[in-house]
Amino acid sequence: MSEEKTAQTVAELASLAGARVVAGGDVLVERVASVESATSGALAFVEDGKNLELAGACRASCLVVPEGSGERAREIATQVAAVVEAARPKLAFALAAEALHPPKARAAGVHPSASVAQSAEIGDGVFVGEHVTVGERARVGAGTQLLAGARVGDGVSIGAGCVLHENVVLYDGVTLGDRVILHAGVVVGADGFGYVKDGEGVYHKFPQIGTVVIEDDAEIGALSCVDRGALGETRVGRGTKIDNLVQVGHNVRIGERVVIAAQTGISGSTVIEDDAVIGGQVGFGDHARVERGAVIGSQAGVLPGKIVRAGVWWGTPVQRLDDYKRLNAHVNSLPRLREELKELRRIVNELSARLKGEEGGG
């Protein structure tokens, strides 16, 4: 969460993204806003040339426009105090937002209501909030923030600069890298869903004694769950971003820079390689594999053991997007085909009746 603001010049912000200042490099900007809502002191952006007409009514102090806007950029510079050209305006806007809205700083210290085990190691500058629990032999890296109600189990290792929001739970033995962000209610290290049925139909729990490793710069959304490995580990790679209400099963391995949208469920031992993109409400059967660079559309269903190769995929069972479109077109044509079939039956019945009549009269 970004709550504090710090003003910077347009030139300073442009340098963060390698953007070019068209006008007003010394103008001060203190916040970001949309083109429609921006007022004096704000920075806004236009994603592509088709939306440049929105700039006419913009009241921002600075506007980021697409690279190569040329004369139109100079015209905009007569309406707002500063204009910046960027190859990727949305990225330039995001980088400026990081600088203008840094995370809320909390003074180091341990709240009186918190419970920190004597054997725990707490690094420099760590904030421990109300009713936080830190277990035996846990290690918390420098500058990490544990917000109200967070639970850190025994033997947990947390890197530097992490943020655990309210009511996050880390079960025993979990490892977090540096700068990991876990939003409210995230649970890491709960038992995986594994049972074995005996001859009488009674389910017995398969051992869930592995661990979870979440690498540097990962971020996990509110109320998501990452289960521990059964006998090995569950791993979330560096820079991966997971949305709210996502279930990651035991022994799942998620690569680096993967993006997973809300309400996705990933069954045990699935592998998702680097740079994959997973839409919302995707369901994975166990032991599936998503190869590097694959994009899976929302509400797709990936069958157990399925290999999803690079490219865009959709549907249940998941298939390449072109195949899905063709199949969808056929499905959508079924009502028309039904009516045509009814008409053909009517014609056949008429012809049959006519032939019978001719035979009877002959």
Catalytic residue, chosen from 165, 183, 204, 250, is 250
CB-CB neighbours of 255 under 10 Å: 21
Task: For residues 44 and 65, give the distance between their C-alpha atoms in angstroms, rounded to a whole number.
Answer: 9
Return the bridge partners of 62, or none. 43, 82
Helix axes 321-332, 334-361, angle to 10 degrees: 40
92: its two tokens: 């330039």
Query: What are the distances in angstroms from CA 42 to CA 4, 9, 18, 31, 341?
Result: 15, 11, 20, 5, 62
Q: Is 92 helix (H, G, I), strand (E, B) or coil?
A: helix
Residue 283 CB neighbours (<10 A)? 18
Q: Which residues, including other chains, have CB under 8 Å from residue 89's CB and lie 6 or more apart?
A: 45, 46, 47, 48, 64, 65, 66
For 16, the enclosing helix (H) or strand (E) is: helix 10-16
Neighbour count for residue 361 (Cβ, 10 Å): 6
How would you class 332 by CB atoms within 10 Å of its CB: exposed for 0-12, middle for 13-18, buried for 19 or more?
A: exposed
Whether 250 is catalytic? yes
User: Are 293 and 275 in contact, with CB atoms under 8 Å apart?
Assistant: yes
Q: How far apart are CA 141 and CA 175, in angstroms?
A: 11
104-143: b (≥16 Cβ within 10 Å) or e: eebeeebeeebebeeebebbebbbbbeebbbbebbbbbeb
Instruction: Work out the number of other CB atoms within 10 angstroms of the CB of residue 67.
Output: 16
Two structure tokens written together for 181:
């962000």
According to DSSP, the residues that pair with 169 across neighbouring strands are 151, 187
| Catalytic residue set | 250
